[in-house]
Amino acid sequence: MKRLAVPLAVTLMFSFTLAQTFTWPNAWSANTPEEAVTGGTLRSYSLSDPRTFNPFVSAEQNDVVDAANLTTLITQGPDSDAFLPYMAESFTVSDDGLVVTLNVREGMRWSDGEDITAADFFFTYTAETDEAVGSNGYDSWFINGQPIVGELVDEYTLRFTFPEPDRTALPVMAISPAPDHILGEIYREGGAEALKAAWGTDSDVSETVWATPFVPVSFTPGQRIVFERNPYFAEWNEDEAGNGLPYLDRYTVTIVESVDAALNLYLAGELDSFAPPTVDALGVINQAIVNGELDATLLPNQSPVASSQFITFNWNKASDPFKESLFRDARFRQAMSHLVDREAIIDLVYGGSAAPMWSNVYQVYDYWVDPDVPKFPYDPERAVELLEELGFTELYDNGVRANADGDAISFTLATNAGNTQREEIAIIFADAARAVGVEVDVQAVDFNLLVDQLLSTGDDRPFDAILIGLQGGNRVYPFGPNVIPCDTNLHMYNQSGACLDDLEQTAEDLYFEGRATLDTEAARDIGYDIQRALAELQAQIYTVSPLAHYSWLSSVRGEHPEGMINAAVGARQLPLTYKVD
């Protein structure tokens, strides 16, 4: 996000040879380099503290670690699905599609001034493929249990050999480096446990090292993360006029207790941008603009969001065999799906600015969404029929449904505190469930605690059900390598390490079949089959897909041109963002 910039190499008087630079296209910004202004601070927000600063153990949205994902070997621009060399100067793919060779751009430096070389990317590969590290990226490196084999060819060359054709080969190659001279040394000396313990939130974030446009310099829990411009980034990143990027000097993230608190800060001019989650928030911002109280741009209904919201039940509750058996039964989960009043959620939570979500594919990737996926719409009568099939025909005096053994249907549904929309969705669901005799205790808990519960493994995990969401994915094959296969870290309903249901196994088999299918139409057909298997399984009960809305103060410039903004690519590129007085 970003300024009339003087090339940083001139300003800082360093003695070095400039790296071959990556030039950020004018087409990615609504403004020209001649309009840009250097300096200033961009102010954003987050609903929770980061759980870690360590890129290998983070699996959730994380303002520090997510910043690292801005710098990758190859990338996609907001205007095309084509992959471009970025930290790689170039890359080649063999005729059979099995070997990708990447030539790392020379002259890049870490925020501590050390050279970035192929060893830093190879260390990322090494750590992510060590199962003991437990990285969120682990599953991307295996196809049907066979590893993608990495090779450090020389100081600036990497080679990866795939066991079979892979339509996600280039997304997999979008590797972010990790500092081999710091984290790599920790890993070689102390192994996986030492690496996992590094860069926790109790460490001094200013001592961490990054290749990103901004680097964290301070973290005050519950208050703020401050990032400052990385001077070495400008050595190899420039605009089309040759100005070093980023334009901004600083980037701050204020930790807020709720979306409403963030909205109030935005209306007070204390944040530079805000993503209105509801029509009500849109109306409040629009009225403030009309009244002259807020000088801002407001872009409603730009696309469906690039994320999902769903309820998932825990299949691993050895300490409560009744609940474990219940949660593993597809009829129960289908009954719960019939109790999700998606139309009420759309109206009451999002003011009509959303659509029912039936599939695991985000609706912004509309090419891949199966229009005929099985649906379990709001139907309390059908829900009761399914529950009675399961034997829950008795009603206690308190209205709770039970079976002949006296086992009552009662569970806790947790979601993250501060996310007002999720809290409201949980309450709407719980009210509908109670009306047919299902007791649901809604709990709003700290997001990091929720993630810890969801990522827990083994036979007895510490939750009943969770309402949460996923984001990410890509436009090439929008099926999560660490979500669909049964032994992956975000296969969140079943962490036993093996498939427990035939539909689970079917979805896993189809995932790998589609990944090996290079013809896009054929891969989409397989993707439809994946969606149908998972819809019947209902292990993740999808709720609704809101529309994405954007707003920013008029002093913020460098957003994408009109028509390019959507949830898949966002509203702007951070290095090209600047502020004016």
What's the confidence (pLDDT) of residue 5? 22
Is there a single domain that holds both residue 490 and residue 384?
Answer: yes
Structure token pair of residue 404:
């002949």
Residue 281 inside a domain? The answer is no
DSSP per position, 502-560: HHHHHHHHHHHHHHT--SHHHHHHHHHHHHHHHHHHTSEEE-EEEEEEEEEETTEE-BP
* Cβ(262)–Cβ(274) below 8 Å: yes
pLDDT class for 63, splitting at 50, 70, 90? low
pLDDT class for 271, splitting at 50, 70, 90? very high
Is there a single domain that holds both residue 530 and residue 510?
Answer: yes
> Within the chain, what is the greatest distance between any pair of CA atoms?
81
Is there a single domain that holds both residue 73 and residue 148?
Answer: yes
Report which of 407, 405, 438 is spatially closest to residue 311, judged by C-alpha positions.
438
Report which of 199, 221, 201 is spatially closest to residue 210, judged by C-alpha positions.
199
Report the number of distinct structural domains present in the chain: 3
pLDDT for 217 beyond 80: yes
Residue 301 inside a domain? The answer is no
Query: pLDDT of 289-327, one tens digit each?
Result: 999 999 999 999 999 999 999 999 999 999 999 999 999
Query: pLDDT of 527-579, one tens digit each?
Result: 999 999 999 999 999 999 999 999 999 999 999 998 999 999 999 999 999 99
pLDDT class for 397, splitting at 50, 70, 90? confident
Burial of 457 (0-12, 13-18, 19+ CB in 10 A): exposed
| Distance of alpha carbon 491 from alpha carbon 455, whole angstroms | 9
pLDDT class for 454, splitting at 50, 70, 90? very high
Q: What is the average pLDDT value for the chain, to the nearest integer? A: 93
Residue 527 inside a domain? The answer is yes
Is there a single domain that holds both residue 333 and residue 470?
Answer: yes
Residue 453 inside a domain? The answer is yes
Is there a single domain that holds both residue 501 and residue 465?
Answer: yes
What's the confidence (pLDDT) of residue 70? 75
**DSSP-based three-state secondary structure for 186:** helix
Query: What predicted TM-score, i.e. pTM, was given to this entire model?
Result: 0.88
Is there a single domain that holds both residue 402 and residue 423?
Answer: yes
Query: The domain containing residue 581 runs over which residues?
Result: 1-49+221-272+555-581
Give the CATH number, domain containing residue 226. Answer: 3.40.190
- Position 103: which residue type? N
Residue 477 inside a domain? The answer is yes
Structure token pair of residue 33:
């380099």
DSSP per position, 47-74: SS--SBS-TTT--S--HHHHHHTTS-SE
What's the confidence (pLDDT) of residue 471? 87
Residue 277 inside a domain? The answer is no
